[in-house]
Amino acid sequence: MTQQYLAGELSLLLAALQETTADPVPRRWFAGLRREAETAPVGALGPVAQRALQLNDALCYESLARSDSAAFRRQCAAGAELYEFGICAGLIDEE
């Protein structure tokens, strides 16, 4: 995969995660991760993906605590797509 493809796809997946919440704070965090994914060297994309997955996990727990099953489903689906991409692209290790 080319560096541009990896950065672009990661940015799109981060945008999808950003859309799973209406809370402005995590939306800003995802926006920052997107900027980092679009400008960082390819070697830094793995840590960006890891931080995004950690943030998404926190949002999932928050949605469960609020009994917001719709948000939880959206966050799980978007997180699963990012995780699968990260594994296939070699950005993250399978855990």
**Residues 82/60, Cβ–Cβ less than 8 Å:** no
Q: What is the pTM of this model?
A: 0.91
Residues 57-81 have pLDDT tens digits of 999 999 999 999 999 999 999 999 9
94 pLDDT more than 90? no
The pair of structure tokens assigned to 36 is 């980092």
Residue 79 gets the label, from left (phi > 0), alpha (psi -120 to 50) or beta, of alpha
pLDDT at 84: 97
Residues 16-46 have pLDDT tens digits of 999 999 999 999 999 999 999 999 998 899 9
14 pLDDT more than 80? yes
